[in-house]
Structure 1
């Protein structure tokens, strides 16, 4: 129920933000966090990593190091004044920041002025508690010597990349800003694979649960899982298109020596799509497995009822036959009727009849056993 309420709330927010609002309007979401400002500045000889209290302090540091490459990381955007300064300092269009604030965009990439890039991707996390996907929008703007990243939440999946930059591992400090954007996209895609593994393990658990004890709540969980996989598919397919679009760009925007890295990220996106399609097929098979398991259980119940009915049908016939109570003798004339159940007046008729009924039951059980009806119990 909590998950459905959360999904409905997201749909309502999408409708509320787009209904009648002037294009390019900066409408701050009510749930937005106060911004935090992080900056990594580095080149072959320099490295600085700081969090700043204000946007002005951060920009002062960026402008003071023109020879360095900068990763400007802003988390949270509940400050309209800051966003307006951001538009002015980085020559951003209001429609681009509108996409940042309406953070339910599909992954995409756009090229704008002086070979700069505007990239939207989505970071994923699987929630074991609610059994659903949490996705956070990550927006990147690239320039000649900077990458500007914007996100609504304080937490993300980019700490491994930050640790690599701090440790000076690899070639990231020697590469241009476009390579930093690639490294960010690559880490985001890499974190899709653990999400896929968690979903695969959840599907296996659901399969065992269905085989052991299928219930209506189990079916509801399977249907919810299918909805989550639809959402995952809507993310991974545009992610592949994003990488494909980057590969098609002119070498003035994406240098030839960097395209090999984006091609590797494209291969990862294709692998993710294959995994998503496999998981969707497995989730669909869970519904079929549920219906088959429920049907088999119903068949077992019907088998038990059929055996019980088969045992008592001949007994009911015998009891009904001897319950007709035809008179042995005419009470007025005293005439004896020889064919009116003479065995009713035998001294041992009752125990003999009960014994015959017991023997009949044993014969029926033996017959069912020989037919193999008890083997599946």
Structure 2
């Protein structure tokens, strides 16, 4: 699933035509057909619908100007829909282009004095691929509505929808900007389970490095480091976005909501600290892998050194007696006193083998006393 979505994002980037005019809209390749969801509520009422068409959605919103609306559109596969959204909600073509080209960095922009255009990124962790899957969520604010657009049908906002359904908390009593905070807060909350999954994966990689360091393990560590770099590129703009929201005028962000957005800002700072910590851990794992492989190689070299040390004197003895200098000249019968008298001694062969065996035993005992076998 994660790999498929990554390819979809890549296709949307490639769909952009070089030299197109600013604000040029297009339907991305393989874009989903749009689905229309609406939540309308006041202090006393609540209504949730999935509507068959955009016209029905707009009609429902216009029928209840006194209510607050969460307009949720999922899928971009309709160019006419994009044009109607710009006309009906007074959206700038450049903003809509950023929505469609949905690999934008998180940001916030104000337009028409009190309205906001916000981009955030929803994260998932693929336990099969060991990679991040991020989906863009775009938000537009109005006096009595929040409009969210995303390319996928699935998201992480179901807990917030459930809170609105059962009336839990104060979201029904607060202005629409509080719903913006609630959406951004839920998105940020899902970053921390992702960090938990990454932490567990790091623990697994550490065990692999210590027990069975292989090139595949090193490749997995480096891939994870790349995912953390990608996550950091998302988290830093999220922090900047929250900081910019906190600096906005009171007519955009009421003073009563500052404490909520400040809490969300603190979450982004905490998230960046976790990312940096995990990134350092991946670097430490690479160093641990190199150290473990080096120690393993040193162990192999120690074994080879011991084997060589044992066989060097044995090879010397075998080489000396392999020269076969005869003690007696077969032609003249003359005896040479400085030749090898052992060649014709009884039991010379088993005696030499026994001597060589005792030499091996003495060498092994010497190595043991030196502590060479303790690290095996």
| Alignment coverage as a number of residue pairs | 376
Q: Which runs of 5+ in 1 are unaligned?
A: none
On the 8 A contact 2:213/2:293 being kept in 1, the answer is: yes
Which segment is superposed worse, 185-194 or 279-288? 279-288
Match of 1:261 in 2: 260
Give matches, 1:1-377, under 5 Å: 10-11=9-10, 13-377=12-376
**Alpha-carbon shift at residue 13 of structure 1 (Å):** 4.2
TM-score of the aligned structures, taking structure 1 as reference length: 0.97
Per the alignment, in what secondary structure is the counterpart of residue 70 of structure 2?
A: strand
Question: Residues of 2 paired with 1:6 and 1:39: CA distance?
Answer: 25
Q: Which runs of 5+ in 2 are unaligned?
A: none
Question: Residues of 2 paired with 1:314 and 1:16: CA distance?
Answer: 74
Question: Residues of 2 paired with 1:216 and 1:7: CA distance?
Answer: 25
**Alpha-carbon shift at residue 17 of structure 1 (Å):** 1.1
Q: Deviations over 1:297-354 (max 9, x none)?
A: 1111111111111111100000001111112123343321111111221111111111
Question: Residues of 1 paired with 2:3 and 2:75: CA distance?
Answer: 25
Which segment is superposed worse, 341-350 or 189-198? 341-350
On the 8 A contact 2:164/2:171 being kept in 1, the answer is: yes
**Alpha-carbon shift at residue 370 of structure 1 (Å):** 1.1
**Alpha-carbon shift at residue 188 of structure 1 (Å):** 0.2
Per the alignment, in what secondary structure is the counterpart of residue 172 of structure 2?
A: helix
**Alpha-carbon shift at residue 114 of structure 1 (Å):** 3.2
Per the alignment, in what secondary structure is the counterpart of residue 231 of structure 1?
A: helix
Question: Residues of 2 paired with 1:220 and 1:3: CA distance?
Answer: 19
**Alpha-carbon shift at residue 194 of structure 1 (Å):** 0.1
Question: Residues of 2 paired with 1:24 and 1:183: CA distance?
Answer: 29
Question: Residues of 2 paired with 1:375 and 1:239: CA distance?
Answer: 53
**Alpha-carbon shift at residue 235 of structure 1 (Å):** 0.4
Residues 41 and 10 (structure 1 numbering): CA distance in 2 closer, same or farther, change over 3 Å? closer
**Alpha-carbon shift at residue 5 of structure 1 (Å):** 9.3
TM-score of the aligned structures, taking structure 2 as reference length: 0.97
